[in-house]
Structure 1
């Protein structure tokens, strides 16, 4: 009789939650554990799915966890820019001889009307902004520190949760989740007198509203290119991920 499957799903993206819901509904023969980093105080969790919140402690910690827990498959569906976590996942899977794959959602593609300037890193994004700009920094809290070196800017930041510590520079802070409606994002940009959007090419439907809003308003977008793809098989759709887990 084949060994029961126990899948560790490294999440933190909308697609990981969708995949967790599908697995929970369609593959009751598979035990699923969804792992989240815990950066959001009250994450929206898929109902009925076993969830773990918090880090593992690098490659050693992750390898120890999957061995002790009896994990049989490791699926990395973290953020496209979570390079460290993806690297650790691939290394731990190799060490433990676990089947491993990475789910990578498609990047956004430039459309007619987009005013994109693509750059390679946060510092380049900072330096690309003109003097006196009021950029909307659609970046996680751990990615805004380079902008403290541009005191001429008047940034606008959005956080799901109110920060527990002061911001590293003067900025307008908005709390709440991004809107799915481009019109709502455009209204926010107008109300805050935003001149530029700075973001990463995260891809996917969730979060695209800000890109569409910038296009509609004719706002320049400073877009940080994606890092190299992680090691191992790359799954580019939810159906492909389901097929890999069923294989």
Structure 2
């Protein structure tokens, strides 16, 4: 039996874990695709390609050329464009698609969480919640807050910000996982009134929410975008089972 060819759309911890789980199994041939937006990404094991596909048509062409048998979209929960493109391309080519999405966060009882649909809505809501802001939405959303001259921002991001950015801003370049103690120290040390984040889910960056709750810091959290109606699993183990069932490769091939 020839190896099943799997494309993992990656960039997340789940994508790396899935590649790690499959790469040494003779029943699978795996390639991970990264968007290339981070200069020094954490690379998964096995074959890796970096860069976009050129839209739906380009991705469909890649699936045909590489004879891909299944696609696992394990991109960030807010990577809506590639998720929609993957659904369209997989349907066009007739390739099974799985959306691997970690569960979103749930507010603790009594927490001061305010859900918003967009970062623009978060920027509008800041006036009522506080002046000193811990912004953890990634560098791509900084322009949305650039006009808020009356606010001070602590911005945490992996890559350096690009203009336009808020006038009153301190940049902290770092990536998770983070500890509750460390996040508590950041919030208290910078006298943060409100945390702005996205519902990314997972444990890598959840400590800030626990620290904010403990300190009574308000949280503005952007809800996830809608996803296509495709097969969805919450973790790597379930994704492996899905692949085995869909492509007829059992655990004996490990």
Please tell me the TM-score bracket, short chain as reference: over 0.9
Asked if 2 retains the 8 angstrom alpha-carbon contact of 1:87 and 1:231, the reply is: no
- 1:81 alignment counterpart: 78
Stretches of structure 2 that go unaligned for 5 or more consecutive residues are 246-254
Asked if 2 retains the 8 angstrom alpha-carbon contact of 1:135 and 1:155, the reply is: yes
Asked if 2 retains the 8 angstrom alpha-carbon contact of 1:179 and 1:185, the reply is: no
Question: Aligned to 1:215, what secondary structure does the other structure show?
Answer: helix
Asked if 2 retains the 8 angstrom alpha-carbon contact of 1:116 and 1:222, the reply is: yes
**TM-score, structure 1 length as denominator?**
0.92
Asked if 1 retains the 8 angstrom alpha-carbon contact of 2:84 and 2:227, the reply is: no
Question: Which among 31, 36, 39 is matched to residue 38 of structure 1?
Answer: 36
Q: Give the drift of 1:144.
A: 2.0
**TM-score, structure 2 length as denominator?**
0.90
Question: Which among 56, 61, 70 is matched to residue 59 of structure 1?
Answer: 56
Question: Aligned to 1:226, what secondary structure does the other structure show?
Answer: coil
Residue 190 to residue 167, structure 1, CA distance change in 2 (3 Å): farther
* Correspondences of 1:160-199 after superposition (within 5 Å): 160-163=158-161, 165-170=162-167, 171-199=169-197
Query: What is the CA RMSD across the aligned residues, in angstroms?
Result: 1.6
Asked if 2 retains the 8 angstrom alpha-carbon contact of 1:135 and 1:153, the reply is: yes
Rounded to whole Å, the distance in 1 between the matches of 2:77 and 2:36 is 17
* Correspondences of 1:68-147 after superposition (within 5 Å): 68-130=65-127, 133-147=131-145
Q: Give the drift of 1:179.
A: 4.1
Q: Give the drift of 1:52.
A: 1.2
Asked if 1 retains the 8 angstrom alpha-carbon contact of 2:138 and 2:158, the reply is: no
Asked if 1 retains the 8 angstrom alpha-carbon contact of 2:10 and 2:33, the reply is: yes
**What is the number of equivalent residue pairs in this alignment?**
243
Moved over 2 A (4+): 165-169
